Structure 1
Amino acid sequence: MTSTPHSATPTAAQRLVETLVANGVDRVFCVPGESYLAVLDALADVTDRIQVIACRNEAGAANMAEAYGKLTGKPGICMVTRGPGATHASIGVHTAHQDSTPMILFVGQVALADRGRGAFQEVDYRQVFGGLAKWATEIESADRTVEIVERAFATALQGRMGPVVIALPEDILTADGGPAPRRAVEPAKAALDPAFAQAVAERLGQAERPLLILGGSGWSQAAADAIAVWSEKLGIPVALSFRRKDLIDNDRSNYAGDLGLGPNPRLIQRVKDADLIVAIGARLGENPTQGYSLFDRAEIADRLIHIHPGAEELGRVWPTLMSATADNSLAALALAQTQPIRSWPDLAAQAHADFEAFIEPVSVTGDVNMSQVIRHLGEVLPADAILTNGAGNYAAWLHRFHKHHTKGTQLAPTSGAMGYGYPAALAAKSVHPEREVICVAGDGEYLMTGQELATAVQYGLNVVVVIVDNGTYGTIRMHQERDYPHRVIATDLKNPDFVAYARAFGAFGIRCETTEAFPAALAAARAAGEPAVIHLLTSPEDIAPGRTLSQLRGG
């Protein structure tokens, strides 16, 4: 391997890469650009420690970095060029912000000497990303490179996790980089006051119908297991927040289901009936609270205990009985050490029975029953298989009918980002090549980042994607038929032959048109030994579980 000779004094670009190495970064997702060539050159010296995965679009690269952060708990690293590169990547930053995911986006920038002139592809990144990221900044002094990058790691990881954006002026990158990093950043984490944990236990001892809601990011396996075992022993029903369904084993005897889009009506009623709700990590935003209608501000303050790592989230929407700022894992571990004076086994049993009843397959009008397709996935995949998806009505089938048994098996955007699922699957496969990774994607959703199939083939990321093709933008079509029946516009899709599409990239492709044919198609895709596409044709009439287009339009 050859590279450009380096000066005796490390440059800012080299110091940046040294800081990544010091903080345990093992892969970078990027689309290369001339504005940060010096950083790419510095990465060429550490390919034994950092894998550089070149993507086909910055949106794909940013989604991969976000998924990496969500899966590992470490900041996902994305590098893109200035202007259009950065704005393409903004979708991943938005998802990281909404999903509380640690991520750092490095963006090439015009030279400091040219800033403010409207130079080629010039953007003020502090303004553009100021509302999307936890911190958006620009390195303006080369000798502060390590300081700023270390602060980025701390900012991404501390409190409510999230994304950081750092602009890299190209003339700064080749200047003297200043002092070297000394050690990895150790993020500060707030523990739960033992007196607060005891007060929660005392409140639980007085409750007749308690409910535990878990959500958010940054959970350790030990903490998730501890709170699951503790709550199951006591018989406290546990609900998981929107797209956090893998936090505890869904087969636990006290698992009540997840609060998201199309939730179990019995779970919604259980939340309303609860006389004490203990929420850890969940922000209790729009989707988990069903458009902010699940709680009543006039009475929720008498029954909500809210624990969250970000102080700014406490009292943001809902008044509380008690609240505390604490790391999710540390809070869960502290609470799991308490011993309330009573238990609720009957409550837990009924909650789990309601969940089991809700995930029984439903009938459909077409030849493919997605509830049975998803049930089959759960029957044949190993417990540690990772499932990913983006946004769309097709995802409702996955979220409702698939059981998660292991933490780190669900990658899905709470931001509702289309195009997320396939890049997320590739990131997951790069981190865990030994595990099976299945992406379930809608036809409209897949083609937003489907070109990353080339990335999958290039790097041997043998992910299986099930493309659910109903020829429509399903979620919008559903709302359209409900609000403006018989006036369909802009939601029909003309799709390619996805089998031919896959083969054109050098991947495996197979077509499936019935429920009965799916097991064989899945088996063939899993055994292909290369990236695989299952083109699953479904009826648009079966727009969502238990709902048809005819019903929506009143027909």
Structure 2
Amino acid sequence: MTSLPSPAPRTGARLLVDALLANGVSRAFGVPGESYLDVLDALSDSNVDFVICRQESGAAMMAEACGKLTGRPGICFVTRGPGATNASAGIHIAQQDSTPMILFVGQISRSMRGREAFQEVDYRAAFGPLAKWAVEIDEAARIPEIVSRAFRVAMQGRPGPVVIALPEDVLSEMAAVPDAPAVEPAETWPGLSDMMRLQRLLWAAKRPVMILGGARWNERAIASVERFAERFDLPLAVSFRRQMLFPADHACFAGDIGFSANPKLLARLKAADLVILAGGRFGEVPSQGYSLFGIPDPGVPLVHVHADPEELGRVYQPTLAINASSGAFAASLEGVQPPNELPWADWRAQARADYLAWTDELPANPGAVQMASLVRYLRALPRETIICNGAGNFAIWVHRFHRFRAYGTQLAPTSGSMGYGLPAAVAAKISQPATPVVAVCGDGDFLMTGQEFATAVQYGAPIVAVVVDNGMYGTIRMHQEREYPTRVFGTTLRNPDFAAYARAFGGFGVTVETDDAFVPALDAAFASGLPAIVHVKLDPEAITPTTSLSALRAKSLAERSGG
């Protein structure tokens, strides 16, 4: 037998970059730090595009957005101590959103451990509860092994974030070890008996509903689900901030079950005699505060499909638990046959009619600028347009009224993290430069990560950021008015001129103060060819699409006075 030649010695940093290249990584996001200078040097003559960000939370959110779009781990590099803790917001998003991501953190040298050296943090302890796996590499020779495992952990089962600490001296240490092969996640396929049981449950049903959520989806899988829904004439809903999982213009689409969900859809779910939940977890938001179904017995035949067996029966005990990844389950639906007669055709048609009625009529809001104008503009953009947002009451307009029509067109955190929309948009535009990308942000939301507008300018990523400015932390103010009416505290904001902010960075900026200026401003932003901010001055009274601030306050006061 001919023995293979021994690999040439390489530094730990070079081993790390080669491991990334072996796994198809072409882009990473980060903020440079002296704790991983060796990696920066190794990246400098590689084919990895290193996107320099302005703060670690923005960098981590960009990596998370890439993981969400591609299904492969988004890669982020940060320095030790404050660099890592700044990035924790992105790790939390990846964990709650089931997004594959790997965060590499520079670390002190091994010889300094345990002395509370400069910026020393035990990352396994700090990120252990927040990430799917947190590890520190102890020797350069193990880098290919650990990076390979990280890719598998991040993608396999329920996807999530992995944190890898890189001691400085490990990165400069020499080791002669071979590269590991590229990692592909294992697909967990449902058993034939599972699919036959699903078919029998469907044949016995009169009022079935299917819900899509979670991760491990792709365009091919969604196409399979579309065909399944059509063959069964099945009403289909999506989970919170997962609207991109099924086209809103499809006759089977019945809406989403997020915050302020359509009451008729919630009533339909309660009246269903079979619920099929594929890919999702039925967390607090889609379950409407765990009130939609009983716990642990949901009170309705429930089929739960999930790639991680630990999620099956975690809260709700299903009639049929199917341990399968989303793509494998979708492919297996081709073999499930409908009954000779479908007794729920009117049930599906009414679900569709309820959705259209819920989203067709765009309500007027107080003030000169109407958010309905933004929604109409978004609906008219190309089908492949990516819409990004963070958290705040402004997002209700996007989630309730915009109609996502294609897979991969929504970037929004199910974790409810503010500041996500702008960095997600920058990452999406850098990754897909030919695709229109819009970030819809609140004023407080935007300034959580607003410095990443500089990253958009630096990399020539012409996003359009719509900053909805009502001069307050609107969601908190809404709750404050409900719980403590007239006692406003800690929610008022004094904001900059966001259009001037854009121009200061070298982008395009325009302000909207009247409704007739809305569409021309958006047109001009797209036509500029520059990263753009459309600063929308929204009346503070427009607290939700259906309620004004003063009406909310009056209702709360009346309830407290018994009126």
TM over 0.5: yes
> Following TM superposition, by how much is the alpha carbon of 1:24 offset from its aligned partner in structure 2, in angstroms?
0.5
User: Structure 1, unaligned stretches of length 5 or more?
Assistant: 1-6
Provide the rounded CA distance (Å) in 1 between the counterparts of 2:175 and 2:350. Answer: 62
Report what 2:394 is aligned to: 394
For residues 431 and 192 of structure 2, what CA distance do their matches in structure 1 show?
36
Deviation, structure 1 residue 142: 1.3
CA distance in 1, matches of 2:52, 2:175: 26
Letter in 2 for 1:428: A
Please state if 1:419 is matched with 2:419. Answer: yes
Asked whether the equivalents of residues 296 and 315 of structure 2 are also in contact (C-alpha less than 8 Å), the reply is no
Give the conservation status (yes or no) of the 8 Å contact 1:11–1:177: yes
Structure 1 residue 118: Cα displacement: 0.4
Aligned partner of 1:278 in structure 2 is: 276
* Deviation, structure 1 residue 316: 1.0
Q: Deviations over 1:131-180 (max 9, x none)?
A: 11110000001110110000000000100000000000000101123412
Paired position in structure 1 for 2:112: 114
Which amino acid is 2:377 matched to? H
* Aligned partners of 1:154 and 1:186 also within 8 Å: yes
Correspondences of 1:422-437 after superposition (within 5 Å): 422-437=422-437
Q: How many residues align?
A: 546
- The residue type equivalent to 1:378 in the other structure is R
Moved over 3 A (4+): none
Q: C-alpha separation between the residues in 2 aligned to 1:500 and 1:269?
A: 47
CA–CA distance in 2 between the matches of 1:179 and 1:257? 52
**Superposition map of 1:355-504 within 5 A:** 355-359=355-359, 360-379=361-380, 381-504=381-504
Match of 2:61 in 1: 63
Aligned-partner Cα distance in 2 for 1:465–1:156: 30
CA–CA distance in 2 between the matches of 1:390 and 1:297?
Answer: 31
What is the alpha-carbon distance in structure 1 between the residues aligned to residue 316 and residue 196 of structure 2?
A: 23
Amino acid at match of 1:448: M
Q: 1:554 deviation in Å?
A: 1.9
The code of the aligned residue for 1:420 comes to: Y
Equivalent residue for 1:269? Answer: 267
Retained in 1: the 8 A contact 2:306–2:323? yes
Report the more deviating stretch, 224-233 or 471-480: 224-233
CA shift for structure 1 position 515: 2.4
Note if contact 1:235-1:346 (Cα within 8 Å) is conserved in structure 2.
no
The CA deviation string for residues 45-96 of structure 1, in whole angstroms up to 9 with x for no partner, is 21xx210000000000000000000011110000000000000000000000
For residues 186 and 43 of structure 2, the distance between their equivalents in structure 1, rounded to whole angstroms, comes to 29
Q: 1:186-228, CA deviations, whole angstroms, 9 ceiling, x for partnerless residues?
A: 2112111121011101101111100000011120211111111
Partner of 1:287: 285
Distance of 1:305 and 1:298 partners within structure 2: 14
Contact 1:301 1:318 in 2 (8 A): no
Taking the aligned partners of 1:420 and 1:182, their CA distance within structure 2 comes to 34
* Offset at residue 299 of structure 1 (A): 4.8
Give the SS at the match of 1:211.
Answer: strand
Q: What amino acid does structure 1 have at the position aligned with 2:186?
A: A
Which string of whole-angstrom CA distances, capped at 9 and with x for unpartnered residues, describes residues 2-35 of structure 1?
A: xxxxx96211110100010010001010100000
- Conserved? CA contact 1:105–1:166, under 8 Å: yes
2 CA distance for matches of 1:516 and 1:209? Answer: 45
Paired residues of 2:36 and 2:79 also in contact (CA < 8 A): yes
Question: SS at the partner of 1:388?
Answer: strand
SS of the residue 2:519 aligns to: helix
Query: What is the distance in 2 between the residues matched to 1:548 and 1:309?
Result: 43
How far did residue 301 of structure 1 move? Answer: 5.2
Name the aligned partner's letter for residue 374 of structure 2: V
Distance 1:482 1:372 in 2: 28
**Residue 408 of structure 2 aligns to which amino acid in structure 1?**
G
Secondary structure at 1:300 match in 2: coil
Residue identity in the other structure for 2:26? D
Report the secondary structure of 2:87's partner residue: helix
Aligned to 1:3: none
Inter-CA distance 193–126: structure 2 relative to 1 (3 Å threshold): same
Asked if 2 retains the 8 angstrom alpha-carbon contact of 1:14 and 1:177, the reply is no
Offset of 1:297 from its aligned partner?
A: 2.5
Question: What is the SS of the residue equivalent to 1:289?
Answer: coil
Conserved in 1, the CA contact under 8 Å of 2:210 and 2:275?
A: yes
Distance in 1 (alpha carbons) for counterparts of 2:119 and 2:303 = 48
Mapped partners of 1:515, 1:409: distance in 2: 26
Aligned counterpart in structure 2 of residue 72 of structure 1, from 67, 70, 73? 70
CA distance in 2, matches of 1:333, 1:548: 47
1:103 to 101, 104, 126: 101
Counterpart AA for 2:505: F
Corresponding residue of 2:558: none
Cα shift at 1:337: 2.5
Matched, 1:24 2:24: yes
TM-score for both structures, normalised by structure 2:
0.95
Aligned counterpart, 2:559? none
Task: Write the deviation string for residues 353-398 of structure 1: whole angstroms up to 9, x where unpaired.
Answer: 111111120122211221332122112x100000000011100101
Q: Distance in 2 between matches of 1:515 and 1:311?
A: 51
- Do the aligned residues in 2 keep the contact of 1:373 with 1:515 (CA within 8 Å)? no
Q: In 2, distance between residues paired with 1:401 and 1:233?
A: 27
Q: How many angstroms does 1:124 deviate by? A: 0.1
Q: Which residue of 2 aligns with 1:4?
A: none
Q: State the Cα deviation string for residues 325-360 of structure 1 (Å, max 9, x = none).
A: 110111112123211214232222111111111112
Q: CA deviation at 1:182?
A: 3.8
CA distance in structure 1 between the aligned counterparts of 2:551 and 2:322, rounded to whole angstroms: 45
Q: TM-score, normalised by structure 1?
A: 0.97
Identify the residue that residue 214 of structure 1 maps to in structure 2.
212
Which deviates the most, 335-344 or 69-78? 335-344
In 2, the alpha carbon distance for the partners of 1:442 and 1:268 equals: 28
Partner residue, 2:230: 232
CA distance in 2, matches of 1:198, 1:66: 37
* CA distance in 2 between partners of 1:56 and 1:40 (Å): 16
Cα deviations by residue, 1:286-306 (Å, 9 ceiling, x for unpaired): 000111111122652541110
1:350 alignment counterpart: 350
Separation of aligned partners in 2, 1:326 and 1:358: 33
Q: Provide the alpha-carbon RMSD of the alignment.
A: 1.2
Q: Which amino acid aligns with 2:484?
A: Y
Deviations 1:480-504 (A, max 9, x none): 0001000000101100001111111
Structure 2 unaligned spans of 5+: 1-6, 556-563
How much identity, in percent, do the aligned residues show? Answer: 54
How does 1:126-137 map onto structure 2 within 5 Å?
126-137=124-135
| Higher alpha-carbon deviation: 325-334 or 95-104 | 325-334
Give the distance between the partners of 1:44 and 1:253, measured in 2 at CA.
Answer: 50
Residues 137, 165 of structure 2: 8 Å contact kept: yes
In 2, Cα distance between the equivalents of 1:539 and 1:178?
Answer: 64
CA 1:114/1:385 → structure 2, altered by over 3 Å: closer, same or farther? same
1:317 to 303, 315, 319: 315
8 Å contact from structure 2 (residues 63, 101) kept in 1? yes
Q: Distance in 2 between matches of 1:200 and 1:413?
A: 31
Classify 1:525/1:468 alpha carbon distance in 2 versus 1 (closer, same or farther; 3 Å): same
SS of the residue 2:174 aligns to? coil
Please say if 1:522 is aligned against 2:526: no
Q: Answer whether contact 1:103 1:164 (CA < 8 A) is retained.
A: yes
Displacement of 1:181 in angstroms is 1.6
Kept in 1, the 8 Å contact 2:144–2:180? The answer is: no
